[in-house]
Amino acid sequence: MEPEPERRTALGVRMAGTIGIAVGIMSVATWWLMYTAGLAPFPPFDLGDLVIRQTPGPIATWTIETLGDRAQPAALGGGLLAFSGFWIVFGVLVGRVPAARFNSLMPLVLLPIAIGLGRWSDDGQSTARFLWLTVAFGITLGGFGALLAFWVRRLTEVQPVLVPETSSWLDGPGDFQRRELVRQIGIVTLAVGVGAPVVGRLLRAAGGTVNAATSAGLPLADVRASVVSPVPLPPTQPVDESVDDFAAPTGVRPRVTMNDDFYVVDISTRDPNLDELGWALRVHGLVERELLITWQNLLSFPSVELDGTLMCISYEYDNGLISSTRWTGVRLRDVLEQAGIVDGTVDLICRGTNGYSDSIPLVKAMEPTTLLAYGMNGTTLPQSHGFPCRLYVPGLYGEKHVKWLQEIELSSQDYRGFWQERGWTDTAIVNTTAIIDSPSGTVVRDGTETPIGGIAFAGDRGILSVQVQIDGGEWREAVVENNEPPLFWQRWRYDWRPEPGRYRISVRAIDGEGHPQTETAQPPHPNGMTGLHRVTVKIN
């Protein structure tokens, strides 16, 4: 007996979801084009940022410890998956809800989403921008929602017919060829999904950009010359790479990190793009007079240059989250003295444009090496490093060096910032660390010495000595580069003449106050990594 044929009048979940994915690809590609053209933010970025900010402390800490520098791309990937999931659900609903009801419900669903994206992406900049973003996202959501509904319904417009279970769904009879429509959907998806990013790239190549032009990363002397009557900047001297004729072994990093190589860690998926002419730093709270410091005001303060190293509290021996540069800026205490500090001040609460905040003690803020930095290596701060202004606080981990600084509030209370709320240290004092850069892996012995070398860093305490140990033997003194001020990492070398074989090399440092490096291994959370760096080397 022949099986009774199946009557199909609705699109299958798999096909409806596939159409949803296709529309999702096109919508994300279109949003990327708008972002590239500078018309609107990129919603998956905003969703990734929201996830980062709203993730509870224990989960955020576990994610960082597990994924490391891959945590931020993972948040962005999650944003893309979330939008893809939305369009999949949307496609399935189109195929299940009667057309009349769906047409009435669609605006009720998409309009709040457009308003939410507009407010979410606007970041409180202006009412006009919020309205524009709401309209832009509303048009794209509505347009792609209508396209999705059209495609799904077109695939279900065939009059109810008896279709044997063994026959192909695409080959069913009707007034529209389903196979041809699916082919057209694929072509349109590919064209928009690939074409929109290509157009965005061409716009950038033609002079268009995601960000408005600013003075970020430009030669500092040229930028200062464009400001009316600034106090002259001390002549910039190149950093001497041969202090006391110290010969760094091959493979040891240079004394100064180039701006493009300087490490970057942020809580956002993209960097704020601030026009220095519209930027101002507000200093308020327990002060005698509130200050609003513009870019011109900042450059008009007496400036200083300072060689200094920055280290992330998430640093581990293989992730490279430590860099050195020559900072240019203004002593923070000069600004605070102009504002007038009220008795009872304990903390300075520092807030950045990207929603990040942290605090430093008043006593630390008054040290002459704590800067409102606006330059690195002879240029203004690059965008990714906090242009137009950031904190540089020697001796403390990078979490305290707030970037894109827009507000300093003097407070009588201890303040817990973004990372403290997630279980990380509030004091953030840099632990003493010695690192082996060279040698590594397999080394061919040529009858001469095989130097061992690397860097050592102890925040603002400096380095007194570095010691090397081979295969658990006695600790031997290395030669340490004489580097002033002690805010910079110190490079070191130990000349070694090994026989062929496999060796385990360890290194430790003594800080400038005579305290040896902590040898007990601890992970970065919550107080920064401790423990000795060890490498295995094979000598042939």
The pLDDT tens digits of the residues spanning 154-211 come to: 777 644 444 455 455 455 544 446 677 778 888 888 888 888 888 877 776 665 555 5
Residues sharing a CB contact under 8 Å with residue 456, sequence separation 6 or more, in sequence order: 432, 433, 434, 435, 463, 466, 480, 489, 490, 491, 492, 507, 509
Q: Please report the pLDDT score of residue 280 as a whole number.
A: 95
- Distance between CA atoms of 440 and 426, rounded to whole angstroms? 36
> pTM score, two decimals?
0.80
Alpha helices (H) in 37-126, listed in sequence order:
43-54, 57-67, 71-96, 99-122
- Distance between CA atoms of 197 and 352, rounded to whole angstroms? 31
Q: Comparing 129-143, 167-181, 184-198, 428-442, which segment has the lowest mean pLDDT?
A: 167-181
Residue at 24: amino acid letter: G
- Distance between CA atoms of 108 and 115, rounded to whole angstroms? 11
Q: What is the mean pLDDT of residues 375-383?
A: 96
Tabulate helix, strand, coil % of the chain (nearest 5). 35, 20, 40
Q: Is 8 in contact with 182 (CB distance < 8 Å)? A: no
CA-based max dimension of the chain? 98
Which region holds residue 6: left if phi is over 0, alpha if psi is between -120 and 50, else beta? beta
Q: Please report the pLDDT score of residue 395 as a whole number.
A: 96
Question: Which is higher by pLDDT, 446 or 472?
Answer: 472
- At residue 127 the predicted structure's pLDDT band, cuts being 50, 70 and 90, is confident
- Within 312-426, strands assigned E span 322-331, 347-352, 357-361, 371-376, 379-380, 390-392, 405-411
Q: Please report the pLDDT score of residue 2 as a whole number.
A: 46
- Distance between CA atoms of 34 and 41, rounded to whole angstroms? 8
Q: Is 413 in contact with 345 (CB distance < 8 Å)? A: no
Q: Please report the pLDDT score of residue 166 as a whole number.
A: 43
Three-state DSSP class for 407?
A: strand
- Distance between CA atoms of 328 and 350, rounded to whole angstroms? 19
On average, the pLDDT of the chain sits at 84
Question: Partners of 433 in the beta sheet?
Answer: 457
- At residue 1 the predicted structure's pLDDT band, cuts being 50, 70 and 90, is very low
- Within 377-487, strands assigned E span 379-380, 390-392, 405-411, 433-438, 441-443, 452-457, 463-470, 476-477, 479-480
At residue 539, what are phi and psi to the nearest 5 degrees? -105, 120
Q: What is the mean pLDDT of residues 255-259?
A: 95
- The percentage of the chain sitting over the pLDDT mark of 90, rounded to a whole number, equals 46
Residues sharing a CB contact under 8 Å with residue 18, sequence separation 6 or more, in sequence order: 91
Q: Is 189 in contact with 26 (CB distance < 8 Å)? A: yes
Three-state DSSP class for 360?
A: strand
Q: Is 463 in contact with 456 (CB distance < 8 Å)? A: yes
Q: What is the mean pLDDT of residues 227-236?
A: 54
332-356 pLDDT, tens per residue? Answer: 999 999 999 999 999 999 999 878 9
Q: Please report the pLDDT score of residue 178 as a whole number.
A: 67
Confidence check: pLDDT of 484 > 70: no
276-316 pLDDT, tens per residue? Answer: 988 999 999 999 999 999 999 999 999 999 999 999 998 99
Q: What is the mean pLDDT of residues 17-38?
A: 86
Task: Look at residues 442, 450, 441 and name the one whose alpha carbon lies nearest to residue 498.
Answer: 450
- Distance between CA atoms of 158 and 169, rounded to whole angstroms? 11
Beta-sheet strand order (sheet of 479-480): 433-438, 452-457, 490-494, 479-480
